[in-house]
A and B are shown apart, each in its own frame.
Chain A
Amino acid sequence: MKNRTIARYEGTLKVTGQARYEGEMMPEGLLHAALVESPIACGELQSLDTSRAATLPGFATLVTHEDTASLKPSAATALIREKAIHFHGQPVALVAATTLSEAREAAKATQASIAARTALTQMGQALDQAYEPAMVGRFPASTRRGDSAKALSEAGLVVWRRYTTAVNNHHPMEPHAVVCWWEGKKAVVHTCTQAIFGTRAMIAHAFEMPPADIRVLSRYLGGGFGCKGQLWWPWMFWAMLASRKTNRPVRLELTRAQMFTLVGRRQETAQDLALGFVDGRLTAIEHDVIAQTSTHAEFSDSTAVYTRFLYACPNVTTRHSLVRTNEPQPVPMRAPGTAPGTFALESAMDEAAELLGIDPLELRLNNFADQDQENSRPWSSNSLRECYRVGAERFGWAERRARSAAKVGRWKIGFGMATTLYPAIRQACRARVALRVDGSLLVQCGTQDMGSGTYTALGQIAADALGLSMDKITVELGDTGLPDGPFSGGSQVTASIFPAVEAATSKLRAALASIATADTTLPLGGKPPEDLEFADGMIRSRSGNASERLTGVLARAATDGLEAEGESPATDHQKLAASGMGYGAIFVEIGVDPELGEIRVRRVCGAFAAGHILNPLLAKSQYIGGLIGGIGMALHEQAVTDAATGSILGKSFADYLIPVHADMPAFDIAMIDEDDPHLPGGVKGIGMLGTAGIQAAIANAVYDAIGKRIRKLPIRIEDCL
Chain B
Amino acid sequence: MSSASFNYIRAAELTDALARGERAGAAYLAGGTDLLPLWKASLTAPQEVIDISHLPLATITRSGDALTIGATARLSDIAAHPEVKAHYPLVCDGILASASGQVRNVATMGGNLLQRTRCPYFRDAGLACNKRDPGSGCGTRHGENRHAVLFGGSPSCVATHPSDLAVALAALDAKIVVSSANGERELALSELYPLPGETTAPDSSLRPGEMITAIRMLNAARFANHATYLKIRDRASFEFAVVSVAAALRIEDGAIAEARLAAGGVAPLPWRLEKSEAALIGRAPTEEAFAEAGALAIGGARPLEGNAFKIPLLRNAVIRALQTAGGQS
Contacts and interface: CB of A to CB of B under 8 A. Distances in A.
Interface of A: 34, 39, 88, 101-102, 104-105, 107-108, 255, 257, 410, 595-598, 600, 635-636, 640, 642-645, 647, 649-652, 654-655, 657, 659-663, 716-718, 721
Contacts of A647: 124, 126-127
A140 to B, nearest CB: 37
Interface centre among B1, B127, B312, B319 (most CB of A within 10 A): B1
A659 B313 contact: no
B3 A105 contact: yes
B8 interface: no
Given A101-B5, A652-B123, A660 B143 contact: no
Given A104-B2, A597-B232, A643 B242 contact: no
A141 B5 CA distance: 52
Contact of A721 (B123, B233, B313): B313
B46 interface: no
Interface in B122-157: 123-124, 126-127, 139, 142-144, 146
14 contacts: A88-B126, A101-B5, A102-B3, A104-B1, A257-B41, A596-B316, A644-B139, A644-B142, A645-B127, A649-B143, A649-B144, A655-B118, A657-B235, A662-B238
Given A595-B319, A596-B317, A651-B124, A642 B232 contact: no
A577 B319 CA distance: 63
Contacts of B121: 642, 649
Contacts of B253: none
Nearest to B310: A718
A323 to B, nearest CB: 20
A400 to B, nearest CB: 25
A39 B126 CA distance: 7
B271 interface: no
B121 to A, nearest CB: 7
A662 B237 contact: yes
Interface string B214-241: 0000000000000000001111111110
Contacts of B320: 410, 595-596
Contacts of A642: 121, 127, 139, 143-144
B80 interface: no
Contact of A649 (B1, B124, B142): B124
A657 B239 contact: yes
Contacts of B126: 39, 88, 645, 647
B4 interface: yes
Given A649-B121, A650-B120, A650-B123, A717 B309 contact: yes
A430 B273 CA distance: 69
B118 A716 contact: no
B313 A596 contact: yes
B313 A101 contact: no
B123 A660 contact: no
Nearest to B100: A660
A161 to B, nearest CB: 22
Contact of A635 (B5, B234, B239, B316): B234
B194 to A, nearest CB: 25
A644 B127 CA distance: 10
Given A104-B2, A647-B127, A640 B313 contact: no
Main secondary structure, interface of B, reads loop
A43 to B, nearest CB: 14
B309 A597 contact: yes
Interface in B286-320: 309, 312-313, 316-317, 319-320
Contacts of A662: 235-238
A600 B238 CA distance: 15
A652 B42 CA distance: 14
B6 to A, nearest CB: 11
Nearest to A109: B3
Contacts of A649: 120-121, 124, 127, 143-144
Nearest to A655: B120
A642 B240 CA distance: 21
A623 B143 CA distance: 38
Contact of A598 (B5, B232, B238): B232
B232 A717 contact: yes
Nearest to A258: B1
Contact of B3 (A104, A640, A645, A655): A104
A717 B236 contact: no
Contacts of A595: 316, 319-320
A651 B40 CA distance: 13
Contacts of A88: 126
The list of the 6 closest CB pairs from A to B, nearest first, reads A718-B309, A662-B237, A662-B236, A105-B3, A650-B120, A104-B3
B219 to A, nearest CB: 31
Contacts of A651: 124
Contact of B312 (A636, A657, A721): A721
B3 A108 contact: yes
A666 to B, nearest CB: 14
Contacts of A107: 3
A226 to B, nearest CB: 23
B20 to A, nearest CB: 24
Interface string B25-54: 000000000000000011000000000000
Contacts of A645: 126-127, 139
Contacts of B313: 596-597, 717-718, 721
B238 A660 contact: yes
A28 B1 CA distance: 25
A88 B240 CA distance: 26
A355 B280 CA distance: 46
A656 B127 CA distance: 18
B241 to A, nearest CB: 11
Nearest to A652: B123
Contacts of A598: 232-233
A663 B239 contact: no
Contacts of B139: 642, 644-645
A101 B3 CA distance: 5
A478 B162 CA distance: 44
A689 to B, nearest CB: 24
B236 A108 contact: no
A644 B313 CA distance: 28
A107 B42 CA distance: 13
A628 to B, nearest CB: 12
B239 A255 contact: no
A282 to B, nearest CB: 35
Contact of B235 (A39, A101, A596, A636): A636
B176 to A, nearest CB: 25
Interface in B81-122: 118, 120-121
Contacts of A636: 234-235
B278 to A, nearest CB: 23
B83 to A, nearest CB: 28
A640 B2 contact: no
A105 B45 CA distance: 12
A647 B236 CA distance: 28
Contacts of B144: 640, 642, 649
